[in-house]
Structure 1
């Protein structure tokens, strides 16, 4: 049965009803931000230098998968600079006029956070080039041969762009960012610190081993860690005395179908079908998707990246194949290959 990927408890995409909770859990200063040590240190130097020079810092590009803290960092940048923050997104900028309306109302030194910058309309993108370099935009008045471009000066500002697909950014736009940072997935120990901090803010009593259990199933993503913490808290409040013990955490996460490596129902369905129905592969994406009742795009975009990152699945020119770790994880025995079967690395004639 197909379903909305955002409904998954392990989805790194923020759900509509989570925004208020996320806002309460976000760190407010760079010193409170956990993880991404190299990015934090580099960003601290950029901001401190700008403050000493009393000038807006270079434009900043943050790239990486969703749920790792790009929006949080943009808020921290504005807070550290003591400047207001304006938030918008690439899909909301459909025309150059939309961008001009935003830029023309910025105050000096204001931080403009542009989420999903790779999805901005091309005319607006070209206008942004001039705004980032010269703090000026040309507003076109009229249409056809009688159209005229009126130059409009804008206040010096700092653009913080965020993207989950840095490869889709045009070179000219990427080159206009003075500081580019790539955010990586978090280690379990870092997620434990985040869970402990969030538990304190949510007034959740959680044992250290329980925090370790939740962190290990959070797919290296703080947003997922905080979501799992809230679900474990709900379970503890309804089924126990409110205290989250390791045993209770395991029971709660089992109820929500999140296993010890962070795989959920869809992940295990894809992996199980690949192993049980196709002997570990290779099998084509469309065939694999049909076997689990999902769209090929859902399998490719939602399930596969994590399975590949976990070393449970591999993409090859001949199709998807399961690794030995996948057989072990599902407790299955791989079939014995026939001597005449060849290998996955044989060249097709």
Structure 2
């Protein structure tokens, strides 16, 4: 596979120096997914990399290999990114392919990423130079005002006031047929006028003509499309006056999935199952909440046969599922696979095509030395920062965890029982101080049950629709981990009550939606903040205890090994004693001590590095910070008296 590379210089957010990144085209789907997940949206480097690779994914339609109907759908599910931001990044990435001057100015740190976004909305290759010169003179706010008051392709205003033109915006999304009719109308009216007319002029002429002549209402015609399907090769064709026109495999399968056969019998006399009657289709859509069961879209919905009618699949509610047009095409195109029975025993997963699997296996992930050597051979500057695709982290199992032996033993027993009875785990409430490993414990439960792990936090679920979108994407046996579950708003919590206890959702515009069996591990630092009805939904309550010094030492050794860093026994023991039994603190202290060691060009953490790290954070050998030591002094000086302690003192 040939990879096209682009060397982009990205301004660093905290330094005058600039970093560089190699942007590579033609990556396999897995490598492209890894590159996208390696970028952060907090820096200009991250925005530029995301724009480049999202535009590349959109151009090559690779989002279909992940079971998604668009790049925005992929970004929402795999990058936890808003669809609006994803679409904007795709547009900017495409525009920068043509606007090379703007891209070069950004690489030289002459303009910010915000100005790049604004210029990509207004500039064309012909007007790029004028708009770039304008951006170098104006502040971001004045540039935004001027861009808002102009149109794409126009030159910037000479007066510099940037006052917007008073206009009303009306947008249309046209099908290919309507677009062809519109082009014909534009050409016809332009020919009559003797000059090229703009869309606005044509629209005005059509409206004036309609108002002048009046619009006669009439009953709509009924059209019938006949599709021929070869029973041997399954090729679909549409008969026309000029001969048969072949259809794409995905379009043909999607059409024939719900079509009525012209002949009720096959060639061999076997009776075909009947297509979906309109009444049954309405019933299926209402059962699924009038949403696509894959992407959640609420428009252009079909009733899809899980087992195809051509293979003898019956037209029954258990064999029908609601899909949107795009997801329907993905299924028949072989990029989505649906198994089980509707509505609760469904499993929808993305399927990589054979070509992509071969290319992913044959194309090794680029390593930093290889890229740097290649850049040197081509005589260009060596990039200071290269973002390789990260390796996928394996989810931990219960046996891989350290500490919490009592809880792990009890949960292992519950896992074996659930497997033997082919049922999901009961809902579990995990309590304990911050940093004790509640998230890893919930992830290990999903690994043991061989289920998908979904993670969210209660402060993110501000509306009931946020929770409904999560619940409708769950499959049989999935694990939905909710962190800080005590912070759920009351309306959202009430929706979760019904889903956890009864396995369904009550929808305001239709009958209740049945949910597949699932497990909710909830995490909280204070279970008393949960309402009693909410606590009663959790059959199991597990309280995580602080870790022993020996357990923390084992966690630190494993973490140091993953960082390819040596650590002495005395350094391990000193850090474990100073962490107050909290693994998160131990890992944070290890990071600081490693930085101290690396500052003297040493990959071995010694006891002196730990002492320096503790001193730098104001922590003594027992793990007490300055506020906690002050609290102890106050307690000693007021022994036998009742005193009020400020919250800033923390806990001792």
Task: Tell me how far apart the structure 2 counterparts of residues 110 and 264 of structure 1 sit (CA, whole Å).
Answer: 41
Shift of residue 297, structure 1, vs aligned partner: 3.7
Is 1:168 aligned to residue 529 of structure 2?
Answer: yes
**CA distance in 1 between partners of 2:648 and 2:627 (Å):** 10
**1:86 corresponds to which residue?**
454
Matching of residue 112 in structure 1 with residue 483 in structure 2: no
Q: Distance in 1 between matches of 2:477 and 2:404?
A: 26
Q: Name the residue aligned to 1:194.
A: 555
Greater shift in the superposed pair: 222-231 or 80-89? 80-89
Displacement after TM superposition at 1:214 (Å): 0.4
What's the TM-score, normalizing by structure 1? 0.70
CA distance in 2, matches of 1:227, 1:243: 17
1:153 maps onto 2:503 in alignment = no
Partner-residue secondary structure (3-state), 1:140: coil
Check conservation: 1:205, 1:242, Cα contact below 8 A.
yes
**Residues 209 and 245 of structure 1 are in contact (CA less than 8 Å); yes or no, is this contact kept in structure 2?**
yes
TM superposition shift of 1:48: 1.6
Cα offsets for 1:86-118 (capped at 9, x unmatched): 111212222333322221221111110111111
- Aligned mates of 1:279, 1:126 — CA distance in 2: 47
Equivalent residue of 1:88, what SS? strand
Give the whole-Å Cα distance in 2 for the aligned partners of 1:197 and 1:99.
36
2:579 and 2:394 map into 1 onto residues whose CA distance is: 17
In structure 2, what is the Cα distance between the partners aligned to 1:165 and 1:252?
31
**CA deviation profile, 1:138-172 (whole Å, cap 9, x unmatched):** 1224xxxxxxx731111111111111111112222
Counterpart of 2:327?
Answer: none
Deviation at 1:42, TM superposition (A): 0.5
**Structure 1 pair 107/275, CA: closer, same or farther in 2 (3 Å)?**
closer
Distance 1:105 1:24, change over 3 A: closer
3-state SS of the aligned residue for 1:150? coil
1:179-233 CA-to-partner distances (Å, cap 9, x unmatched) read 2211011111110111111111111111112100000001110000011011111
Counterpart of 1:238 in structure 2 is 599
260-269 vs 191-200, which moves further: 260-269
Q: What TM-score does the superposition give when structure 2 sets the normalisation length?
A: 0.38
Q: Is the 8 A contact 1:194 1:222 kept in 2?
A: yes
Corresponding residue for 1:9? none
The alignment partner of 1:139 has SS state of coil
Whether 1:266 and 2:627 are equivalent positions in the alignment is: yes
Query: How many equivalent residue pairs?
Result: 264
Q: 2:469 matched to 1:138? A: no
Q: Secondary structure at the match of 2:589?
A: helix
1:53 maps to what in 2?
A: 421
- 2:402 matched to 1:34? yes
**Which residues of structure 2 form unaligned runs of 5+?**
1-40, 43-390
Name 2:648's counterpart in structure 1.
298
Name the CA shift for 1:152/1:229 in 2 (closer, same or farther; >3 Å): same
Q: Is the 8 A contact 1:207 1:246 kept in 2?
A: yes
The answer as to whether partners of 1:195 and 1:226 remain within 8 angstroms in 2 is: yes
Compared CA separation, residues 238 and 280, structure 1 to 2 (3 A): farther
The residue correspondences of 1:65-104 to structure 2 (distance < 5 A) are 65-104=433-472
CA distance in 1, matches of 2:588, 2:443: 21
In the alignment, the residues of structure 1 paired with residue 428 and residue 600 of structure 2 have an alpha-carbon distance, to the nearest angstrom, of: 46
Corresponding residue for residue 33 of structure 2 = none
Residue 284 of structure 1, CA deviation: 4.4
The match for 1:124 among 489, 492, 512 is 492
* Correspondence 1:212-291 to 2 at 5 A: 212-239=573-600, 241-272=602-633, 274=634, 282=641, 284-285=643-644
RMSD of the TM alignment (CA)? 2.5
Question: Counterparts of 2:524 and 2:588 in 1: how far apart (Å)?
Answer: 22
Larger radius of gyration, structure 1 or 2? 2
Which structure has the higher relative contact order (CA within 8 Å, separation 6+)? 1
Q: Which has the higher mean CA deviation after the structures are superposed, 167-176 or 191-200? A: 167-176
Deviation beyond 6 Å, 4+ runs, structure 1: 23-27
Deviation larger for 209-218 or 78-87: 78-87
Deviation at 1:280, TM superposition (A): 5.7
Q: Which residue of 2 aligns with 1:313?
A: none
2:431 matched to which residue of 1? 63
| Deviation (angstroms), 1:77 | 1.1
Q: CA deviation at 1:254?
A: 2.1
Q: CA deviation at 1:135?
A: 0.4
